[in-house]
Amino acid sequence: MLLVAENYWENLRRNTMVCFNGVQCDLATTCTCCGKIIEEAYKVLGGIDVLVNNAGYAVYGRIWERSWEDVYGQVMVNMVSAMHLTHLVLKEMFKQRKGVIVFVLTGAVYAYITGLAVYGASKAGLSHYAEALKHELEGNGIRVVTVYPGSIKGTEFFGHPSFRRKDFTKVRWDTNVEKVVDKIIEAIERDNVTKVYISWWIGVTGKVAQLFGMTVSL
């Protein structure tokens, strides 16, 4: 397994029993390291059977309150880097006529969340890309799995300083990291799974939102 992170993977190496190799990369500023990531993966692993696009973060605030760097960084990490990495692995996956590409998205793609407009837009864009790619790859042996979690306890989602302006300590958590990881692994191992709603209500909410629209204020 090859783990890509800006600065967390050394802590994981010290504090977990999982065996992995790490690549340090800041996806918020440039995609030039995406090629380095794929090159390292082939060097260390000999090939890529599964790509999990999980990188993402949010900056809280009304659109006009945030800097362009905040906007650009979220779009790069949440959407563009995943599209770039996917583009790079597809060529080899086509050659071997097999592979699994996982996109970890969010239930927020189905609602307009004030204060998280850029986060929602970037994840919604990636959702559209992933769902379309899923159909484009039919018959090629490459499976796309889209994962839609809700609020996940145990992540750094509210870690950005912008979230300190409001009290998010009473957030109702839908699930935890362990459950999300288990669901993703299960989906990868089962050949017939292409979409995963971590919490049942996300699928229902999505259908309602598509019909009537939904706005959530934070």
- pTM metric for this prediction: 0.84
- pLDDT attached to residue 109: 86
pLDDT at residue 8 greater than cutoff 60 = no
pLDDT at residue 102 greater than cutoff 70 = yes
pLDDT at residue 172 greater than cutoff 70 = no
- pLDDT attached to residue 20: 64
Among 3.40.50.720, 3.40.50.1980, 3.90.226.10, 2.60.40.2300, name the CATH number for the domain at 50-217.
3.40.50.720
- pLDDT attached to residue 137: 97
Over residues 138-160, the pLDDT tens digits come to: 999 999 999 998 776 766 666 67
| Strand pairing report for 99-104 and 142-148 | parallel
How many other C-beta atoms can be found within 10 angstroms of the C-beta atom of residue 8? 12
Longest dimension (CA), the chain: 50
Q: Which residue intervals of the chain are DSSP H helices?
A: 9-15, 32-45, 68-75, 81-96, 117-136, 177-189, 200-212
Q: Is 3 exposed, middle or buried (0-12, 13-18, 19+ CB in 10 A)?
A: middle
For the chain, the structural domain boundaries read 50-217
**What's the pLDDT band for 77 if we cut at 50, 70, 90?**
very high
Tell me, yes or no, if 119 is annotated catalytic: yes
- Catalytic one of 119, 129, 148, 197: 119
Q: Is 203 exposed, middle or buried (0-12, 13-18, 19+ CB in 10 A)?
A: middle
pLDDT at residue 161 greater than cutoff 70 = yes
pLDDT at residue 208 greater than cutoff 90 = no
Residues in the chain: 218
